[in-house]
Amino acid sequence: MLSEEKIYDLDIRKKTYKVTTFAELRKQMEDAKREAEKNAREQRSAPGEPSQPSQQDPNAKEVEVDFDVKNTGATKSINGFDTKQAIVTITVREKGKTLDQGGGMVMVTDMWLTPNAPSTKDLMAFDMKYAEKLYGPMVTGASAQDMAMALAMYPQIKPALDRMKAEGGKVDGTAIMTTMTMEAVPPGAANTTAPVAAAEPAPKKGLGGMLGGLKKMAEAKNEPSGKPQRAMILTTSVEVLKLTPDVDAASVALPAGFREDK
């Protein structure tokens, strides 16, 4: 709850819930950021390790941000809403250079929008207040801790999210389904695609799992051919099942029979 500065995580199977305060979450984000930055420095300085792209350098060069909206004309019925597809592409690149010349980051947001849904301005306002209280840019579908770690490894995420926030009004409609991807692009890899990771057991949750995944992404850029490769930083998928402007207190109350997991 925003007014209480608390987050409630429910475990439906165990019928338990866990409470995390915003203060605790801010500390987790700060700890995650420090450890991610330490990990990035160790990877850049480790003997025999491949050099990392400039977007992992905390002293990154000045960048420019390109914004593009494409209405594809495709239509789809999703959860009772008639939607049209729009794809937003935001490119962060070194100032004065193309993406292929200087490398950078690409964020693609694939949205299925409906014009006839209840207004979501209140939801957008809530998301902005939530991010402000946590002192950092947020992505729907990504945890605050994961965002802290990703930002530490790839500082160019922030200008991309800032541009999305500033230009979001150019997208007409309410997003019912949204898929977002962020890719790191080293110089010479603008026309490549991120390699698809082989199937493996689900990574452990938390800091260790996230950092291990980012290390694998960095390693994936170095194929036997020696050609630079894109690396997937983050993917999220969000689907709206129902929208209503009227919600009573009972609708957001903790389910009966749930106990707190301390």
Each residue's pLDDT tens digit, 251-260: 778 888 999 9
Residue 233 CB burial class (10 angstroms; 0-12, 13-18, ≥19) = buried
Q: Can you name the residues that pair with 185 across neighbouring β-strands?
A: 104
In a domain, 187, yes or no: yes
In a domain, 1, yes or no: no
Q: What is the pLDDT of residue 199?
A: 38
Q: What is the pLDDT of residue 76?
A: 95
In a domain, 209, yes or no: yes
Q: Judge contact between 218 and 230, C-beta under 8 A.
A: no
In a domain, 133, yes or no: yes
In a domain, 23, yes or no: yes
Q: What is the pLDDT of residue 67?
A: 93
**Spans in the chain with pLDDT lower than 70:** 1, 36, 40, 43-60, 116, 118-125, 127-128, 131-132, 134-146, 148-149, 152, 195-226
Phi–psi pair at 167, nearest 5 degrees:
-100, 0
Q: What is the pLDDT of residue 240?
A: 87
In a domain, 31, yes or no: yes
CA gap 10, 115 in Å, rounded = 32
The total number of structural domains that make up the chain: 1
Number of C-beta neighbours around residue 54 at 10 A: 19
Q: What is the pLDDT of residue 40?
A: 66
Task: Identify the domain containing residue 181 by its residue range.
Answer: 6-195+202-260
Q: Judge contact between 217 and 185, C-beta under 8 A.
A: no
Report pLDDT digits (tens) over 186-245.
999 888 877 654 433 444 443 334 444 444 444 444 444 567 888 888 888 989 888 777
CA gap 152, 130 in Å, rounded = 20
Residues 6+ apart with CB under 8 A from 200: none
In a domain, 67, yes or no: yes
3-state secondary structure the chain: CCCCCEEEEEECCCCEEEEEEHHHHHHHHHHHHHHHHHHHHHHHHCCCCCCCCHHHCCCCCCEEEEEEEEEEEEEEEECCEEEEEEEEEEEEEECCCCHHHHCEEEEEEEEEEECCCCCCHHHHHHHHHHHHHCCCCCCCCCCHHHHHHHHHHCCCHHHHHHHHHHHHHHCCCEEEEEEEEEEEECCCCCCCCCCCCCCCCCCCCCHHHHHHHHHHHHHHCCCCCCCCCCEEEEEEEEECCCCCCCCCHHHHCCCCCCEECC
CA gap 81, 21 in Å, rounded = 35
In a domain, 256, yes or no: yes
